[in-house]
Amino acid sequence: MKKIFLTLVFAILFSFSALAQSNNPEKSAKWASDKMTALLTLNEGDAKKVYEIQLEKTIKLNEALKKYENDEEGLKAAKKPIYADANNKLQAIVGKDGLTKWKTFLQEQKE
Protein backbone atom coordinates (compact mmCIF):
# COMPACT_ATOMS: atom_id res chain seq x y z
CA MET A 1 0.00 0.00 0.00
CA LYS A 2 2.80 2.38 0.93
CA LYS A 3 4.58 1.69 -2.39
CA ILE A 4 1.42 2.42 -4.34
CA PHE A 5 0.89 5.68 -2.47
CA LEU A 6 4.48 6.81 -3.02
CA THR A 7 4.30 5.88 -6.70
CA LEU A 8 1.09 7.85 -7.05
CA VAL A 9 2.58 10.90 -5.31
CA PHE A 10 5.68 10.74 -7.52
CA ALA A 11 3.56 10.43 -10.65
CA ILE A 12 1.45 13.43 -9.68
CA LEU A 13 4.50 15.58 -8.90
CA PHE A 14 6.18 14.54 -12.15
CA SER A 15 2.99 15.32 -14.08
CA PHE A 16 2.72 18.81 -12.57
CA SER A 17 6.37 19.45 -13.31
CA ALA A 18 6.02 18.32 -16.90
CA LEU A 19 2.80 20.26 -17.34
CA ALA A 20 4.29 23.46 -15.95
CA GLN A 21 7.25 23.18 -18.29
CA SER A 22 5.39 22.12 -21.42
CA ASN A 23 2.47 24.56 -21.41
CA ASN A 24 4.33 27.76 -22.01
CA PRO A 25 8.10 28.14 -21.65
CA GLU A 26 7.84 31.93 -21.46
CA LYS A 27 5.28 31.74 -18.66
CA SER A 28 7.38 29.26 -16.69
CA ALA A 29 10.52 31.36 -17.17
CA LYS A 30 8.68 34.52 -16.14
CA TRP A 31 7.32 32.87 -13.00
CA ALA A 32 10.76 31.61 -11.99
CA SER A 33 12.53 34.88 -12.78
CA ASP A 34 9.87 36.97 -11.01
CA LYS A 35 10.09 34.81 -7.89
CA MET A 36 13.88 34.83 -7.96
CA THR A 37 13.96 38.59 -8.50
CA ALA A 38 11.71 39.18 -5.49
CA LEU A 39 13.45 36.63 -3.28
CA LEU A 40 16.96 37.88 -4.02
CA THR A 41 16.09 41.54 -4.76
CA LEU A 42 17.74 41.48 -8.16
CA ASN A 43 18.22 44.60 -10.23
CA GLU A 44 16.56 44.92 -13.63
CA GLY A 45 19.63 43.81 -15.57
CA ASP A 46 20.15 40.69 -13.49
CA ALA A 47 16.43 39.91 -13.60
CA LYS A 48 16.54 39.96 -17.40
CA LYS A 49 19.56 37.62 -17.41
CA VAL A 50 17.79 35.26 -15.02
CA TYR A 51 14.72 35.24 -17.28
CA GLU A 52 16.84 34.34 -20.31
CA ILE A 53 18.54 31.50 -18.42
CA GLN A 54 15.20 30.18 -17.15
CA LEU A 55 13.70 30.38 -20.64
CA GLU A 56 16.62 28.52 -22.19
CA LYS A 57 16.42 25.86 -19.47
CA THR A 58 12.67 25.41 -19.91
CA ILE A 59 12.94 25.08 -23.68
CA LYS A 60 15.70 22.48 -23.34
CA LEU A 61 13.66 20.58 -20.74
CA ASN A 62 10.66 20.57 -23.08
CA GLU A 63 12.82 19.15 -25.85
CA ALA A 64 14.10 16.44 -23.50
CA LEU A 65 10.56 15.63 -22.36
CA LYS A 66 9.51 15.09 -25.98
CA LYS A 67 12.63 13.12 -26.90
CA TYR A 68 12.51 10.84 -23.85
CA GLU A 69 8.74 10.66 -23.49
CA ASN A 70 8.75 6.92 -22.74
CA ASP A 71 12.26 6.65 -21.33
CA GLU A 72 12.39 7.73 -17.69
CA GLU A 73 16.09 6.93 -17.29
CA GLY A 74 16.96 8.75 -20.52
CA LEU A 75 15.00 11.78 -19.37
CA LYS A 76 16.69 11.76 -16.00
CA ALA A 77 20.11 11.62 -17.66
CA ALA A 78 19.18 14.37 -20.13
CA LYS A 79 17.95 16.70 -17.37
CA LYS A 80 21.19 16.62 -15.37
CA PRO A 81 23.34 18.67 -17.77
CA ILE A 82 20.45 21.08 -18.44
CA TYR A 83 20.04 21.84 -14.75
CA ALA A 84 23.80 21.94 -14.17
CA ASP A 85 24.29 24.46 -16.98
CA ALA A 86 21.42 26.66 -15.78
CA ASN A 87 22.63 26.50 -12.16
CA ASN A 88 26.17 27.48 -13.17
CA LYS A 89 24.86 30.45 -15.14
CA LEU A 90 22.52 31.49 -12.33
CA GLN A 91 25.28 31.20 -9.76
CA ALA A 92 27.42 33.56 -11.82
CA ILE A 93 24.65 36.17 -11.45
CA VAL A 94 23.27 35.60 -7.94
CA GLY A 95 26.25 33.96 -6.24
CA LYS A 96 26.44 30.71 -4.35
CA ASP A 97 24.39 32.00 -1.41
CA GLY A 98 21.70 33.33 -3.73
CA LEU A 99 21.46 30.03 -5.57
CA THR A 100 21.25 28.15 -2.29
CA LYS A 101 18.46 30.46 -1.13
CA TRP A 102 16.65 29.86 -4.46
CA LYS A 103 16.95 26.08 -4.18
CA THR A 104 15.61 26.21 -0.62
CA PHE A 105 12.65 28.26 -1.85
CA LEU A 106 11.93 25.70 -4.58
CA GLN A 107 12.07 22.84 -2.07
CA GLU A 108 9.61 24.66 0.17
CA GLN A 109 7.26 25.12 -2.79
CA LYS A 110 7.22 21.35 -3.36
CA GLU A 111 6.20 20.61 0.24
Contact 65, 18 (CB under 8 A): yes
Answer yes or no: is pLDDT of 28 > 50.
yes
In the predicted structure, residue 52 carries a pLDDT above the cut 70: yes
Share of the chain above pLDDT 70, in %: 79
How far apart (Å, rounded) are the C-alpha atoms in residues 109 and 68?
Answer: 26
For the chain, what percentages of helix, strand and coil (3-state, to nearest 5) are there? 90, 0, 10
Which of 15-19, 49-53, 94-98 has the lowest average pLDDT? 15-19
